[in-house]
Chains A and B, each alone.
Chain A
Amino acid sequence: MPNIDLTINTDLARRILTGFIRSEITRIGLQRAVVGLSGGVDSALVCFLAAEALGPENVLAVRMPYRTSSRESLEHAQLVIDATGVQSLTVEITAMVEPYFARFPEMDNRRRGNMMARARMLVLYDQSAAFGGLVVGTGNKTEILLGYSTLYGDSAYAINPIGDLYKTQVWQLSEAMDVPEAVVKKAPTADLWAGQTDEQELGFSYREADRLLYLLVDRRYTPDECVEAGFRRGLVEAVVTRMRRNHFKRLMPPIAKLSNRTIGYDFLYLRDWGT
C-alpha cells in the first residue's frame, strides 16, 4: 500500500478558510453568513469557521427539522450554537413538505429525502435575504466526489469553505477547532429517515473511501493501480462509478451553443469579477 497521509496542518487550513469566508462575503459589500445546521460535523465545522471569520453576531445558524428528525440532531446543533454564540433560528419544514407528501403517497425515501433537502434550501435562501448574508455551503470533498447530495438541495450555496477537505480531514479540523466531541464522534447521517447512516447507505466507510479517493483524484492513480495498491475491486468500481455518474451535480447545466460567444464556453469571468 502506498503511503497515504491525509493529515493536514489545521492552523493553516483554519487561516485560509476563515480568510476565504471573510473575503468572499465582504468583497460584495456584505458582512453576514447563513448556515444550515444539521447537527452533523460538516455544518458544525462551517459554523465554527464562519463565526471566527465574521464574528458570531454575523452568523445565523438555521435548524430545519422534519417531523421524523432525531432529537439528537437538534440537540447536537444546539451544542454548536451554544459553543459558537452565533444567532439561531429553528424552522420546521414539516408543514412545507407534508401536503405534497400527502398528495403523492407513493413517494419513496429517496424522493422524500430530496424534497426535504430542497425545502431546506428554500428556507436558507429566504433567510439569507432576511438576514442580509450569503448561504455558506457544508459539502465536503468526499461527499461532492461521490455525489452524495441533493442537486439544488444541500448542494445549493453561495460559497463553500470545506469542499476541498475529505471527510477524514473535516474530522481532524473539527477536533482542532473544538467542535463539541458528541458532534465529531457520532456516525455521519443525513437523518432523512430514522436510523439512516451515510456509511450504511454508501456501503463503505468514509475513512476507506477517503484513502481511495486520494489515490484516484489527488495522485491520479488508475482504478487498476488502486486495486494493485490493495483496495478491494468492488469498492474501487463502486466509487469510480459514483464519481462519474454524479459528475452532473458538480457542473452548471450545459447551454446549447449557437452564437460566437456562449455562456459557459467562451464568456469567461470569475465570480469575483470587479471586486
Chain B
Amino acid sequence: MSKFTLALAQLNTRLGVTKANLEKHLAIIREARTAGADLLVFPELSLTGYVLQDLAHAVAHTPSADDALFAPLLEASHDIDLVVGFVDEGPRHRFYIASAYLSRGEVVHVHHKVYLPTYGLFDEGRFFAWGDEIRAFDTRFGRMGMLICEDFWHASPPYLLWLDGADMLLFTSASPGRGLTAEPMLESARWVEHINRAYASLFTVFVAHANRVGYEDGLNFWGGSTLFDPAGELLAKAPFFEESVTYQEVDLRELHRVRARLPLLRDERTALVQRELARILSQPNRLR
C-alpha cells in the first residue's frame, strides 16, 4: 500500500476519568473512519490525562482483549489502525507512560516512555517506571516507530528507530505550553516543531506529531500537531489550542524520491558509529 490517510487527533481529556476519555476516543474513531482515515494517532496519555500524580496507578490498564478499556479499542481497530496513549501496568506492577499501536484487533506494538522528565514543572520520574527498549515495528503501512514527548527531546531514540528500519516516526505529546515572548508561538511549540522538521530532514522519514489541547490546572496544552515529509516539508498542521482531527494523505513513494536525491540513509556509517560509541563509553567520565 503506497498511499494511505493519516489522521492526527488533537483532543482534550478528563483527568483520571478513563471511561469518559474512552467514549471520546470511540467517537473520534467513528468520525475518522467515516472520513476515510487508515491510521489515527492520539496524543500522549490520551486515555487518562497528563498530570496524574497519585492517580497514576488508579488509571493503569493492560493492553489486551480482556481489558475493559482496550476491548472496545481493539474491536474498533478492525477498521482503522490506532495509536492510543495510556498508563501500562506491567506484570510486576510497574507503571509506564505508554503508547499502543492497534491494528485488526491485535496489539502490534507497545512503547514505554524511556525519558521521563523530572525537572522544572515535570515530575514523571516520581510516579512512573522508565521504558528500556526502543524498537521499530511493522505495520500494514510500512515500518514505523513510536516515541513519547521527552523521548524525542533526545536525539538518540529517533536515530535508533531510523536504523531499526522505521520510515515513519509517530511522536505523541501532552506538551505544556511555556515560554511566552514577543514571538507568535510559545517557545515550547517552536522548539518541538523545529526538531520534528529536523528529524524528518536528517533521517529522510515521515514524522507525525500528535499533541493534546486543553488545560490541567494552570497548564495549557498547545496542540499544533504536525506531519513532515521525508524532505522536511510540512504536509499538515493542526490549529493551536483547539480540538481537531487533521487528515493528510501520505504517499510512501516520497521515500523513494527523496532518498534517490539525498542518500543519507545509504551513506550512514553505522559500523563507525558503533565503534566510536564503544570507544567513547569505555572511557570513564567521558559523558561527564
Flag if B181 contacts A268 (CB, 8 Å): no
- Bound together, the chains give a CA A263 to CA B181 distance in angstroms of 36
With A20-B220, A268-B53 in contact, do A7 and B16 touch (Cβ < 8 Å)?
Answer: no
Flag if B14 contacts A275 (CB, 8 Å): yes
Instruction: Please give, as numbers and ranges, the residues of chain B lying within 8 Å of A269 by CB-CB distance.
Output: 53-55
Instruction: Please give, as numbers and ranges, the residues of chain B lying within 8 Å of A7 by CB-CB distance.
Output: 181-182
With A8-B180, A9-B182, A9-B183 in contact, do A19 and B215 touch (Cβ < 8 Å)?
Answer: yes
Flag if A270 contacts B220 (CB, 8 Å): no
- Bound together, the chains give a CA A271 to CA B217 distance in angstroms of 6
Number of contacting residues on A, CB 8 A? 24
Task: Tell me, yes or no, whether B218 is within 8 Å of chain A by CB.
Answer: yes
Please report which residues of chain B, range 135-187, place their CB below 8 angstroms from some CB of chain A when the two chains form the complex. Answer: 177, 180-186
Flag if B217 contacts A5 (CB, 8 Å): no
- Bound together, the chains give a CA A11 to CA B51 distance in angstroms of 27
Flag if B55 contacts A273 (CB, 8 Å): yes
Residue of A nearest to B186 (CB): A12
Instruction: Please give, as numbers and ranges, the residues of chain A lying within 8 Å of B181 by CB-CB distance.
Output: 5, 7-9
Flag if A19 contacts B182 (CB, 8 Å): no
- Bound together, the chains give a CA A272 to CA B16 distance in angstroms of 9
Q: Decide if the interface of chain A is mainly helix, strand, loop or mixed.
A: loop
Residue of A nearest to B185 (CB): A12
Task: Tell me, yes or no, whether A104 is within 8 Å of chain B by CB.
Answer: no
- Bound together, the chains give a CA A267 to CA B218 distance in angstroms of 19
Task: Tell me, yes or no, whether A24 is within 8 Å of chain B by CB.
Answer: yes
CB < 8 Å neighbour of A9 from B51, B54, B184, B220 = B184
Please report which residues of chain B, range 27-86, place their CB below 8 angstroms from some CB of chain A when the two chains form the complex. Answer: 51, 53-55
Instruction: Please give, as numbers and ranges, the residues of chain A lying within 8 Å of B214 by CB-CB distance.
Output: 23
A1-41, CB under 8 A of B: which get 1 and which 0?
00001011101110110011001100000000000000000
Instruction: Please give, as numbers and ranges, the residues of chain B lying within 8 Å of A272 by CB-CB distance.
Output: 15, 215-217
With A267-B54, A268-B54, A275-B15 in contact, do A20 and B218 touch (Cβ < 8 Å)?
Answer: yes
What's the least CB distance linking B255 to chain A, in Å? 36
Instruction: Please give, as numbers and ranges, the residues of chain A lying within 8 Å of B17 by CB-CB distance.
Output: 274
- Bound together, the chains give a CA A20 to CA B180 distance in angstroms of 15
- Bound together, the chains give a CA A35 to CA B182 distance in angstroms of 28
Please report which residues of chain B, range 85-140, place their CB below 8 angstroms from some CB of chain A when the two chains form the complex. Answer: none
Flag if B177 contacts A16 (CB, 8 Å): yes
What's the least CB distance linking A24 to chain B, in Å? 7
Instruction: Please give, as numbers and ranges, the residues of chain B lying within 8 Å of A164 by CB-CB distance.
Output: 218
Task: Tell me, yes or no, whether B199 is within 8 Å of chain A by CB.
Answer: no
Please report which residues of chain A, range 240-275, place their CB below 8 angstroms from some CB of chain B when the two chains form the complex. Answer: 266-275
- Bound together, the chains give a CA A24 to CA B217 distance in angstroms of 7
What's the least CB distance linking B2 to chain A, in Å? 40
Bin chain B's interface residue count. 20 to 34
Task: Tell me, yes or no, whether B241 is within 8 Å of chain A by CB.
Answer: yes
Flag if A270 contacts B53 (CB, 8 Å): yes
Flag if B215 contacts A23 (CB, 8 Å): yes
- Bound together, the chains give a CA A19 to CA B183 distance in angstroms of 19
With A270-B15, A272-B15, A273-B16 in contact, do A13 and B54 touch (Cβ < 8 Å)?
Answer: no
Flag if B180 contacts A270 (CB, 8 Å): no
- Bound together, the chains give a CA A19 to CA B216 distance in angstroms of 12
Flag if B241 contacts A16 (CB, 8 Å): yes
Residue of A nearest to B240 (CB): A15
What's the least CB distance linking B116 to chain A, in Å? 16
Flag if A24 contacts B215 (CB, 8 Å): yes
Instruction: Please give, as numbers and ranges, the residues of chain B lying within 8 Å of A274 by CB-CB distance.
Output: 14-17
- Bound together, the chains give a CA A268 to CA B53 distance in angstroms of 6
Flag if B241 contacts A19 (CB, 8 Å): yes
A206-218, CB under 8 A of B: which get 1 and which 0?
0000000000000
Instruction: Please give, as numbers and ranges, the residues of chain A lying within 8 Å of B180 by CB-CB distance.
Output: 8-9, 12-13, 16
- Bound together, the chains give a CA A218 to CA B195 distance in angstroms of 24
Flag if B184 contacts A11 (CB, 8 Å): yes
Residue of B nearest to A267 (CB): B54
Instruction: Please give, as numbers and ranges, the residues of chain A lying within 8 Å of B185 by CB-CB distance.
Output: 12
- Bound together, the chains give a CA A24 to CA B219 distance in angstroms of 11
- Bound together, the chains give a CA A198 to CA B239 distance in angstroms of 41
- Bound together, the chains give a CA A135 to CA B183 distance in angstroms of 31
Residue of A nearest to B178 (CB): A164
B216-240, CB under 8 A of A: which get 1 and which 0?
1110100000000000000000001
Q: List 25 A-B contacts (CB under 8 A).
A: A5-B182, A7-B182, A8-B180, A9-B181, A9-B182, A11-B184, A12-B180, A12-B184, A15-B241, A16-B241, A19-B215, A19-B241, A20-B215, A20-B218, A24-B217, A164-B218, A268-B54, A269-B55, A270-B51, A271-B217, A273-B15, A274-B14, A274-B16, A275-B14, A275-B15
Known: A19-B220, A20-B215, A274-B15. 12 other contacts (CB 8 A): A5-B181, A8-B182, A12-B180, A15-B241, A20-B218, A267-B54, A269-B55, A273-B15, A273-B55, A274-B16, A274-B17, A275-B15
**A-B pairs with lowest CB-CB distance, top 9:** A268-B53, A23-B215, A7-B182, A268-B54, A270-B217, A270-B51, A16-B220, A272-B15, A272-B216
Which residues of B come within 8 Å of A, CB atoms?
Answer: 14-17, 51, 53-55, 177, 180-186, 214-218, 220, 240-241
